[in-house]
Structure 1
Amino acid sequence: MNRKDNKAVIFDMDGVIIDTENIWKQAEEEVFSSLGVKVSEAYTKITQSMTTAEVTQFWYEKFPWQQTSLQEVEQRVVSRVVELIQSETCLIKGVKVFIERLKSENYKIGLATNSPYAIIPIVLEKLKITHLFDTISSAEFEKNGKPDPAIYITTAKKLGVKPKNCFVIEDSYSGMLAAKNAGMSVAAFTNGNRNVTFEIADCSINSFEEDKVTIIIQFLR
């Protein structure tokens, strides 16, 4: 019989446990526009899967600004995101109960995000789920963010679980690619958008209110 405490479920953050796509767009547009950057939808799609540092570097190379350091600009974006998370309704239905169900099955629970570390506790506290996570990881401390697998490899090590015994829930192709390259199974979380499909994923979860815990259990047998 397999011991479930040697198996783990790892969640991405943005777009999986909290709906922050529009929050990031707003914060980045406000901050970068104030520096003279002409923020376009086409470029914004390119930057969606980047870390905040990578996004800041991207816009600086397109529209270089003067006097303000990249680190300060990045911090402005992060601070604005935190403000918006605290004030906006950005919850994803059913995620807390879903994680609680996994915890009741004795799986270890991890979080692996491209977002800066400072944002993680803000999100977990807003959702009242801090106590449910065994470890949290930010790509801020990796040489490269997703789609590089480093953050997932790091998270598995912190959990004390082999990558093959980890199941990841992601909403982006770059995140899924990172998980697969780390040797993990992965579910595509669509948040009700059934037109979104990722062939790279092992399965899909449309809503956390649908009982898909049994699917995860099957992958981690």
Structure 2
Amino acid sequence: MSAAVIFDMDGLLLDSEDFWQQAEFEMFSSLGVPLQPEDTAQTLGWRCDYVVQHWYAKFAWQGPTPAEVGDAIIDNVIQLIIQQGKLMPGAREALELSKNLGLPTALATSSNHRMMLATLEHFDLLHYFQATCSAEFLPLAKPHPQVYLNAAAALGIEPQQCVALEDSVTGVIAAKAARMRCIAIPEHANFDDSRYGIADLKLPSLLQLTGAELLR
């Protein structure tokens, strides 16, 4: 039986994946990296510095350093979230459900710590979480499980007693590697991706999440 809930952020609670793809495409195109918009889907769910290093290794550019490029992308995404951002359907309801069940709740994200806090404050979500963990300063981000292990430790709950909610394959791999039960809520276009088969449950949206599934 689950004793705690750990949420991902981008693509699960926050409808932000298009913002990441837009900011990355604009930045890399300005540096002469020959991308098509759909190429940014290759790195869905990756930490920003992983994305920058991935494209820098293929198309080393002149001018700004990879770290400067990463900071600029994050700044752009934060502005897009504040100006146009929306929560995913059922996001606030899922957080309320966890709260009403009395389950300790944490956030485990690959996103930059500054962006994580800006998002939670903008949407008034911070009060739902007893712990918030960003993988920004970890040696490895998702699909490595460390950010999930840190979130469980911050709650004082064994990983095996936690249920993780994720939207990306990268995140599902991280949660399962942390030995957590995982509920996947993939983007509609990726719903039939066979790689989600390692999740314990797959739902079309957070609106279908029930207390019974959180507690199971």
Query: How far, CA to CA, are the matches of 1:93 and 1:134 in structure 2?
Result: 22
Cα deviation digits, residues 52-83 of structure 1 (max 9, x gap): 01111111112112231111111000000001
Residue from 208, 212, 215 that aligns with 1:214: 212
Q: In the TM superposition, what is the alpha-carbon distance from 1:211 to its structure 2 partner?
A: 4.5
Task: Give the structure 1 partner of residue 90 of structure 2.
Answer: 94
| Residue of structure 2 equivalent to 1:124 | 120
Check the 8 A contact 1:193/1:206 in 2, yes or no: no
**Who is 1:177 aligned against?**
173
- Please give the alpha-carbon distance, in whole angstroms, between the structure 1 residues aligned to 2:210 and 2:44: 27
CA contact (8 A) 2:19 2:80 kept: yes
Residue 157 of structure 1 corresponds to which residue in structure 2?
153
* Alpha-carbon distance change, 59 to 162 in structure 1, aligned in 2, over 3 angstroms: same
| Deviation by residue 1:133-181 (Cα, 9 ceiling, x = unmatched) | 1111111121111111111111111111100111000011111111111
- The residue number in structure 2 matching 1:166 is 162
Alignment partner, residue 16 of structure 2: 20
Tell me if 1:199 matches 2:189: no
Q: Once the 2 structures are TM-superposed, how far is the Cα of residue 49 of structure 1 from its aligned partner?
A: 2.8
Tell me which moved more, 43-52 or 161-170. Answer: 43-52
User: Does residue 137 of the first structure (1) align with residue 136 of the second (2)?
Assistant: no
In 2: Cα distance, 1:208 partner to 1:193 partner: 16
AA at the equivalent of 1:200: I
Gaps of 5+ in 1: none
CA distance in 2, matches of 1:141, 1:58: 18
CA distance in 2 between counterparts of 1:104 and 1:35 reads 48
User: Which amino acid counterpart does residue 158 of structure 1 have in structure 2?
Assistant: A
Q: How well do the aligned residues superpose, as a CA RMSD in angstroms?
A: 1.9
Structure 1 residues 30 and 42: CA distance shift in structure 2, 3 A? closer
% identical equivalent positions: 35
Match 1:56 to one of 52, 56, 67: 52
Matched, 1:39 2:35: yes
Alignment check: 8 A CA contact 1:98 1:208 kept: yes
